[in-house]
Structure 1
Amino acid sequence: MTQTPQKSTLSHWWRHATIIVMIFGFATLSMLTVLTYSNAPPIPQKVVAENGEVLFTKQNIEAGQDVFLKYALMEHGSLWGHGAYLGPDYTADYLHREALIVQDVIAKNKFGNSYNNITAEQKAFVAQELQTELKTNRYDAASGQLTFFPGEITAYQELLAYWKDFFTKPNSAPGLPADYIKNPEELRDLTAYFAWATWATVTNRPNKNYTYTNNWPYEPLVGNHPSSEAYIWSALSLVTLLGGLGLVLLFFGKFHFLGWEGEKDDFKLLPSPPRSWTLTPSQWGTGKYFLIVALLFLLQTLVGGGLAHYRVEPYGFYGLHFILNLFPYNLLRTFHLQLVIFWIATAWVAGGLFLAPWVGGQEPKGQRLGVNVLFVGLLVVVLGSLGGEFLGINDKLGPLWFWLGSQGSEYLDLGRFWQLLLAAALIFWLFLMFRALRPAIAKEGKSDLSALFLYAAAAIPLFYVPALFYGPHSNFAVIDNWRFWIIHLWVEGFFELFATVLVAIMFRYMGIVSARSATRLVYLDAILFLIGGIVGTGHHWYFTGQGVLNMGLASCFSALEVVPLTLLTLDASGFIKLRKRNKLADGTDMASKQKWAIYFFIAVGVWNFVGAGIFGFLINTPIVSYFEMGTTLTANHGHAAMFGVFGMLALGVLVFCMRSMQSDAAWAKTEKFVKLGYWGLNIGLALMVVLDLFPAGVLQLWDVLTNGYWHARSFSFIMTGTFHTVEWIRIVGDLVFLLGGVFPIVLAGVLSFLKRDLRPARA
């Protein structure tokens, strides 16, 4: 019997299904984004007393937002739950203090005595009156005028003095030096901004029984409790999760070829595993990228250690007070978040440049020059933006702070000029990728892995564009909307998809998966990740000025994000099996030479399930997010997912590429540091989570439920008791991570760069 030759191409329905998922997802997400502009809390033209006296204007509110962003206060505390965790949530803190002041005003007006000196029956009356007054919406959309009742006015006037003292007196704002904000006008505008943002959290939307922030934060004094929608959609999201998980497991059980191993016949399509690889000049030129990756990784983790110490000693640094003045908490946190994006993105960009000539089959003329020019451009962006942030946060740039300094939005801190420069660099990178991949695309067809490589690369500059869609005077709800288009879709979505393509190509060129299996896996990952991930972006917007439609859609689709993360545990075991495939006659194989890169990819599967799957879903349902948003449980998810997934992926790419530039003899000296670093990073991260981040988050969540959100974020809570103790205990995990993980990996990166010996003939 003659055997029918197997086709190496996939059904076009893989591509069609991916396109359909993206069209549906982006149509829905775009609708929610458009609604943000109409659902956002209105910024009044002026805020007045009942007698018409103007308290502050729209210009004051916008100027206050300028102050909030210019001084990077979102990297110190938070607003509507989003931001940093050392300082207070400014809206929750203002709201609680306002409630205490207003109830005293009501008590004196009604009963002629302070709240503490009236009877229990009178206190019950005051409590009801307090909620009625604060919940009543006195905004007139026709005139753009917001009227404050007398209690609100008294609170605003008293809190002007409070926030002035907070930002000027020594040992007041944790992690910030005395006189951090000196300008009295800026302090008045900032208080006006806090007053408006707090009004949005406590005042009901017109004709609704919930506030502009869906009753966030939890503050029983003013009647802020979870809305009924938060309970309903949380329950329905669990139904969606179980249904989606059952359906996908059914398909994976029925169609075994959906994993990395593919169909049985796919084994026949495997290319012969190479004994070694011949490098091109441009590939050799990427070595300096990986050196910079290692150095930025070191700097980012050292800055992270400084941040951790501020959590236990907020007004000094081992007695070295000049550090507090030179590098306050908000500046270090800005650096910490920018550096992690820079080194991870640089690793993936360099990985794409390294693999593209192999996929394309040839080295385009002038490619090495392009790689070198891009390297200089990226260095300018990194160094320029960090320097600009230092100057801007310290108020040294005047009106240019937004363009050259820090924009002040968490994760999108770099100034707008540096953003534009970064976007231009990414477009140039895409051009380099295209010219390297073009021969393979023309030869193999648009549905092949090489074309997917280019499409995934094109998504990187394309989906960075929303970072440019807002300005310093945009409504904060609008800013936060576009911000998460970048954080969730760009970083967590399309960069992860690009990384999946990188891994697939690495495995293909190690000779352990066929092109068809690799292509199928890329499509499958795209479908599974994007079907929940695009609309699921909205789980960040539950309480930032969106309506309940976003809560319903985002909670259900966000629950589906757990499904592909569950399957990653199967990927981890699949990676181990792949190492044993397709050996040469002498028993050698390229996969064994790249075993540490594969081990990093195994770690990605584990941490993706734990950090993004378990810890992510734990805080993604509306009812849990309502209470925990901005607590250490958020940081727990962030560390386990951000470094455990994206960091490990980037280091896997680094190890793969640097190993490819070294002979067996040279690598033998480097490998021992990679091995030590691999285990040090994983054990250290696990200790951080187990000893501090998760238990501290649970303690903080418990305090939210017991004493209100403002208290769990207060200085008195985070610097005392068991919570403060576990913050100190974290030093064990930090030291293992830094000394046993980061230092060996960085040393391996530097050693690999210096000891590269598989130089191409024309390099």
Structure 2
Amino acid sequence: EFMEMGRFFQILLLAAFSLWILIIYRGIKPWLTLKNLWSVPAWLLYGSGVMVFFLFFGLMVTPETNFAISDFWRWMVVHMWVEVTFEVFTTVIVAYMLVQMGLINRIMAERVIFLAVMLFLVTATVGIAHNFYWIAKPTGVIAFGSVFSTLQVLPLLLLTLDAWRMRQEKERAMQFHSAGQQSFVMNEVWLFVLAVNFWNVFGAGVFGSMINLPIINYFEHSTYLTGNHAHAAMFGVKGNIALGGVLFCCQHLFEDRAWNRKLIRVSFWSLNIGIAMMMFLDLLPVGLYQLSIVLDQGLWYARSQEIVQGTVFRTLTIMRSLGGLVFTVGGVLPLMWFILSRATRMRKTIKHDSGEWSPRADGWANTSDAPAALAESS
């Protein structure tokens, strides 16, 4: 959608993104020293910056540009953004929040980030070759694309195993809270972090790997199976991390009495159950229905008006609206009301904690530090 915008709106969006990067830079500037150059706060700037940087390639396309060249840049921006830079950004954000929440220490977060960045950049950069399967490329492209597309799941699995082990850290955080060493435990933010890991593996990993296998990809291309994967990966990962980040900030900004755990939990479950309903009531069954038609009669018929306007398609599309109803009424609207209605219930003062997040002469990643107690606010 960004690549198909008018030039004015592209520039406007890029200006907004650039302002966002500037705000992040101002916040993490104290950590941009030689000893802290690869700290989690610094990675926050790198991950955000490279994500926005790729969007600037869209400015290279003009009406006079050869279509093959312009479409290459359109394709490159979309796929490098979603499959490479977005994944790095997600990893950094999750690690940043987990350290700030007191669930892991800095050195653990940095090791996970280094490993994930290396794996993502290697597997994803080569793994995007799954898009080259059927455009007259050499056979080796299929081999590389299929293998590395499957390996893209590996960093996600490692992160999920870390998250599973971190349940014990959450129990320790609860003990800190009970002992008065921690102001509050972000249970609701933790839910969104777990959802990111779940959808990363299930939506991006399982459904993504399934349709990237060459023998399946050849027949499922342009069916709803691709949309099924996209919904799970885009909202499941990017949506949950965005909402988790918003609530992470809100819990620092809002008064304790203004926090409504029950409402946020209802919104969380409605959002994720709603997207799951959209997938399993419509996108997945329709995709399998189309795949069966492709195998029997060909792609042209699976995408024809006779099928798209047929009884099966229309019935399942109506059922999909049930998921949309749960998603919107139970998830989006309550969360919007919660955030907007707390505008007058902000904390009067903001305390600064000098724990994990203070720039230090001995470097940010001091391995001798235990997980910091959670600050009352950042």
Interval containing the TM-score (normalised by the shorter chain):
0.7 to 0.9
Partner of 1:451: 42
Provide the rounded CA distance (Å) in 1 between the counterparts of 2:94 and 2:181. Answer: 17
Unaligned runs of 5+ in 2: 352-378
Tell me which moved more, 489-498 or 511-520.
Answer: 489-498
CA contact (8 A) 1:579 1:592 kept: no
Partner of 1:307: none
Deviation at 1:509, TM superposition (A): 2.2
Letter in 2 for 1:514: N
User: Does the residue aligned with 1:580 lie in a helix, a strand or coil?
Assistant: helix
- C-alpha offsets along residues 428-482 of structure 1, whole Å, 9 cap, x if unaligned? 4333333332222327432332332332233123222222333345455444432
Letter in 2 for 1:634: T
Deviation at 1:741, TM superposition (A): 1.5
Deviation at 1:625, TM superposition (A): 1.7
Provide the rounded CA distance (Å) in 2 between the counterparts of 1:465 and 1:590. Answer: 42
Alignment of 1:59-138 (within 5 A): none
Partner of 1:617: 209
CA contact (8 A) 2:286 2:313 kept: yes
User: Does the residue aligned with 2:4 lie in a helix, a strand or coil?
Assistant: strand
The correspondence for 2:269, drawn from 673, 679, 685, is 679
Letter in 2 for 1:584: F
Pair 1:462–1:672, CA change in 2 (3 A): same
Matched, 1:524 2:115: yes
CA contact (8 A) 2:91 2:113 kept: yes
Pair 1:587–1:701, CA change in 2 (3 A): same
Partner of 1:560: 151
The correspondence for 2:244, drawn from 629, 648, 652, is 652
Pair 1:439–1:729, CA change in 2 (3 A): closer
Provide the rounded CA distance (Å) in 2 between the counterparts of 1:506 and 1:615. Answer: 27
CA contact (8 A) 1:510 1:591 kept: no
CA contact (8 A) 1:575 1:598 kept: no
Pair 1:702–1:680, CA change in 2 (3 A): same
- C-alpha offsets along residues 682-716 of structure 1, whole Å, 9 cap, x if unaligned? 11111111111111100001111111111110111
CA contact (8 A) 2:43 2:92 kept: yes
CA contact (8 A) 2:176 2:182 kept: no
Partner of 1:484: 75
What's the TM-score, normalizing by structure 1?
0.43
Pair 1:758–1:491, CA change in 2 (3 A): farther
Provide the rounded CA distance (Å) in 2 between the counterparts of 1:411 and 1:634. Answer: 20
Pair 1:662–1:595, CA change in 2 (3 A): same
Q: Structure 1 vs Structure 2: percent identity of aligned residues?
A: 38
Pair 1:586–1:558, CA change in 2 (3 A): closer
Deviation at 1:422, TM superposition (A): 2.9
Partner of 1:714: 304
CA contact (8 A) 1:579 1:591 kept: no
Larger radius of gyration: 1
What's the TM-score, normalizing by structure 2?
0.84
Partner of 2:199: 607
Pair 1:522–1:475, CA change in 2 (3 A): same
CA contact (8 A) 2:104 2:166 kept: no
Pair 1:495–1:661, CA change in 2 (3 A): same
Deviation at 1:655, TM superposition (A): 0.9
Letter in 2 for 1:605: N
Alignment of 1:81-230 (within 5 A): none
Pair 1:589–1:751, CA change in 2 (3 A): farther
Provide the rounded CA distance (Å) in 1 between the counterparts of 2:82 and 2:313. Answer: 31
Deviation at 1:537, TM superposition (A): 2.0
Alignment of 1:383-422 (within 5 A): 410-422=1-13
Pair 1:690–1:595, CA change in 2 (3 A): same
Pair 1:485–1:529, CA change in 2 (3 A): same
Provide the rounded CA distance (Å) in 2 between the counterparts of 1:666 and 1:744. Answer: 14
Deviation at 1:561, TM superposition (A): 0.7
Partner of 1:697: 287
Pair 1:702–1:509, CA change in 2 (3 A): same
Provide the rounded CA distance (Å) in 1 between the counterparts of 2:145 and 2:184. Answer: 43
Provide the rounded CA distance (Å) in 1 between the counterparts of 2:89 and 2:349. Answer: 27
Partner of 2:376: none
Unaligned runs of 5+ in 1: 1-409
User: CA RMSD of the aligned region, Å?
Assistant: 2.5
- Count of aligned positions: 350
The structure whose residues are more often helix, as a share, is 2
CA contact (8 A) 2:2 2:10 kept: no
Partner of 2:325: 735
Deviation at 1:659, TM superposition (A): 1.1
The correspondence for 1:637, drawn from 229, 251, 255, is 229
User: Does the residue aligned with 2:172 lie in a helix, a strand or coil?
Assistant: coil
Provide the rounded CA distance (Å) in 1 between the counterparts of 2:144 and 2:338. Answer: 46
Deviation at 1:590, TM superposition (A): 4.7
- C-alpha offsets along residues 507-540 of structure 1, whole Å, 9 cap, x if unaligned? 2222222111111111111122222111212322
Pair 1:688–1:580, CA change in 2 (3 A): same
Pair 1:497–1:753, CA change in 2 (3 A): farther
